[in-house]
Structure 1
Amino acid sequence: MQFYKRLALISTAAMAAAILAPSAMAQDAFPSGPIEIISHASAGGGTDTTLRTMQPALEKALGVPVSIAVKTGGSGRVAMSYAKGRPADGYTLMLVTPTHLYTMAQGNSPVGIDEIVGIARASDDPILIVTRADGDLTTAKSMLEHDGSPLRWGTTHVGSVDHASAEVFAREADIDISVVPFEGGGELVINLMGGSLDVASLNLTEAMDAISRGDLTAVAIMAPARVDTLPDTPTTAELGLDADFSTVRGLVAMKGVPQERLDILEKALLEAMAGERYQDLLINSGMPMNSPAPGATWDPQLRKIHVNAVEVLTELGMVK
């Protein structure tokens, strides 16, 4: 009798384990619920377009809904504060740009560079040094040999990556500049074409229309390699200048997310960006086609941008 009782107990336990096993597996599966991506940018801009273009393919790759939480304000501070308050479980991601990294560098962020992990880069929009096509500074040689009055150099916002790019180029090239800040790239193009500026730091995507029309000339591209859309424009590296600047966008998670979950997210993001819809976005915007990149490329790049930001902003007396 004892034998049969023991057998019955074993059978009951086995049945219970069989019933519970799928539930336990479901709890371990990732992702098993919606993914939220935090954006610091309002609707309609490049950052918002980047996320919404990849969103449908990302949902398909992950098999769960993906929502975009817009948290504007404070040059990324509001978005970073929200991200820091969420669990480090992989269900909350954040799209990061140089805006976030320069805010960190200035000591104005609730999140430090060592608290985030780069998962995948979405776009890499190099900064161009641009002049009027009918002006006197239409080649890198003429720019480097300039020894007259300080060049009126247009950038977006004091303390931005555009501002830093101008300061570093001027230092490396040993030329004098007078920085003139504006709200956005559109204003820079207008003032450069109108003669209020001598030079401007503009993203490739911001400048391409005016360059294609023949109104502006790209003197140099602040990148380690030339881009297909401007094959004849030299890089700052070719000119012997250590001035590599780009407006990048990429996905990060807060530190603490298990590596196996980061790997799943990275694979899904790269799959989504390899899709036709996102590839069309890159082509139509003139973005380099090698913009999407894995974490092994993106994570070191965002840390390098942060280091450069600290160095430049310290020189300018803008680090707390």
Structure 2
Amino acid sequence: MLRRQLLAAAPLMAAPAIVQAQAAWPNRPVRVIIPFTPGGASDLMMRPVAERLERVLGQSFVIDNRAGGGGAVGLGAAANERPDGYTLLLTTPGPLVLLPQMQANLPYSSARSFTYISLMGGAPIVCAVAGNGPLRDLASYAAAAKRAPDAVSFGSSGIGSMGHLTGVLFGMETGSQLLHAPFRGAPEAQTSVLSGATTSLWDTAAANVAAIRAGNMRGLCVSSAERAAILPDVPTAREAGFPNVVSLNWFLLCGPAGLPDAITERLSAAVTSILAEPGIREKLDSYAFVSAGQVPQPQLAAWVAAEYARWTPVIRASGS
């Protein structure tokens, strides 16, 4: 009888210890996995926020760059960690919602492997042409693309990249067929446009700010819902008359599936507050980042699922 009473009481005895452990979080350093090499856009987004989280929460937030497999290595590592709040992940749409539609047998599932904490912002894609060329705006660019299949070419940072898929999305929305020229990165795509070998590029705005500001390239649009503060004269595709051409290389803070609600809510509130700070906002603006919209934490899983579905027909059309 005594044994039965002790077994029945065990969950009640354990519960206060679990609650206490969660309430004490964090009591040691927190690791944030970034599934790309150091120095990229994800680092630029996460590092200033991590520095502020250290002050707000009283523990170190250590960046762990786990590059490989287009981001799959880092996401797989994060998915297999304990959901105790001491391993987090900053992901972009590439490995979370694009790669799973292009590659089978990944070590994670976008629907089941993660707890989504905070949508932190995003990097818009810019459509740019040579500064001394005849194309002056997005309407003339669309008209040129409609004249004949492959009449307009565009470079990107690679097959299946957000720049590539945004160019495909523009072609779908305008009923035109653009010729894609994949490169290893933004510098090569830019060189091709400036030499006249490629008509245009669809690539991350931040990588092309200097060339646009110098007049070497002309920004025809950014793909975000709002203009980038660092390129105030470049309209959005919506403003240019193409309302459905909207994309963003967003940044989403996550934890492994099963992260306790108390930790998720505390992190979400802290990140939201930090992102509203003028100093942080100014720094992120300088990197050509924009808001990704206000999505409450409980709605993030549905938002990710909607992003997954939104890009499915574009990925099919791209042949990626």
TM-score, normalised via structure 2 length? 0.83
Match of 2:188 in 1: 187
Which AA in structure 2 matches 1:273? L
Q: Using the alignment, how far apart are the partners of 1:150 and 1:195 within structure 2?
A: 13
Match of 2:21 in 1: 27
Q: Using the alignment, how far apart are the partners of 2:210 and 2:35 within structure 1?
A: 26
Q: Structure 1 vs Structure 2: percent identity of aligned residues?
A: 22
Q: Using the alignment, how far apart are the partners of 2:139 and 2:268 within structure 1?
A: 42
Q: Using the alignment, how far apart are the partners of 2:131 and 2:234 within structure 1?
A: 14
CA deviation vs aligned residue, 1:76-113 (integer Å, no higher than 9, x gap): 11111111211123222101012213212224422222
Q: Using the alignment, how far apart are the partners of 2:229 and 2:45 within structure 1?
A: 21
Q: 1:317: Cα distance to partner?
A: 4.1
Which AA in structure 2 matches 1:143? Y
For residues 1-80 of structure 1, the aligned pairs below 5 Å read 26-29=20-23, 30-80=25-75
Aligned length: 298
2:123–2:204 contact (8 Å) kept in structure 1: yes
Which AA in structure 1 matches 2:131? A
Q: Residues 300 and 237 from structure 1, CA distance in 2 versus in 1: closer, same or farther, beyond 3 angstroms?
A: farther
Match of 1:122 in 2: 120
Q: 1:274: Cα distance to partner?
A: 3.9
Q: 1:301: Cα distance to partner?
A: 4.8
Q: 1:276: Cα distance to partner?
A: 5.9
2:165–2:314 contact (8 Å) kept in structure 1: yes
SS at match of 1:114: coil
Matched, 1:111 2:105: no
CA deviation vs aligned residue, 1:20-70 (integer Å, no higher than 9, x gap): xx9777424233333221111222222223222222211111222222222
Which AA in structure 2 matches 1:209? A
Q: Residues 25 and 240 from structure 1, CA distance in 2 versus in 1: closer, same or farther, beyond 3 angstroms?
A: closer
Which AA in structure 1 matches 2:111? D
Match of 1:83 in 2: 78
Which AA in structure 1 matches 2:74? A
1:153–1:178 contact (8 Å) kept in structure 2: yes
Q: 1:249: Cα distance to partner?
A: 1.5
Q: 1:266: Cα distance to partner?
A: 0.8
Structure 1 unmatched ranges of 5 or more? 1-21
Which AA in structure 1 matches 2:225? P
SS at match of 1:145: helix
Which AA in structure 2 matches 1:264? R
1:37–1:93 contact (8 Å) kept in structure 2: yes
Larger deviation, residues 236-245 vs 202-211: 236-245
1:105–1:309 contact (8 Å) kept in structure 2: no
Q: Using the alignment, how far apart are the partners of 1:217 and 1:281 within structure 2?
A: 24
Match of 2:7 in 1: none
SS at match of 1:123: strand
Larger deviation, residues 26-35 vs 171-180: 26-35
Matched, 1:225 2:226: yes
1:26–1:32 contact (8 Å) kept in structure 2: no
1:98–1:247 contact (8 Å) kept in structure 2: yes
Q: 1:275: Cα distance to partner?
A: 4.5
SS at match of 1:128: strand
Larger deviation, residues 165-174 vs 63-72: 63-72
Q: Using the alignment, how far apart are the partners of 1:242 and 1:200 within structure 2?
A: 19
Q: Using the alignment, how far apart are the partners of 1:35 and 1:228 within structure 2?
A: 32
Which AA in structure 1 matches 2:127? I
Which AA in structure 1 matches 2:108? V
Q: 1:130: Cα distance to partner?
A: 0.9
RMSD, aligned α-carbons:
2.7
Q: Using the alignment, how far apart are the partners of 2:134 and 2:300 within structure 1?
A: 38
Q: 1:292: Cα distance to partner?
A: 8.2
For residues 1-320 of structure 1, the aligned pairs below 5 Å read 26-29=20-23, 30-100=25-95, 101-108=97-104, 109-115=106-112, 116-146=114-144, 147-148=147-148, 150-238=151-239, 239-275=241-277, 278-288=280-290, 290=291, 295-296=296-297, 301-318=303-320
Larger radius of gyration: 1
1:270–1:293 contact (8 Å) kept in structure 2: no
Q: Using the alignment, how far apart are the partners of 1:261 and 1:49 within structure 2?
A: 24
Which AA in structure 1 matches 2:259? V
1:57–1:275 contact (8 Å) kept in structure 2: no
Q: Using the alignment, how far apart are the partners of 2:225 and 2:47 within structure 1?
A: 29
Q: Using the alignment, how far apart are the partners of 2:56 and 2:166 within structure 1?
A: 37
Q: Residues 295 and 70 from structure 1, CA distance in 2 versus in 1: closer, same or farther, beyond 3 angstroms?
A: farther
Which AA in structure 2 matches 1:122? M
SS at match of 2:201: strand
Q: 1:255: Cα distance to partner?
A: 2.5
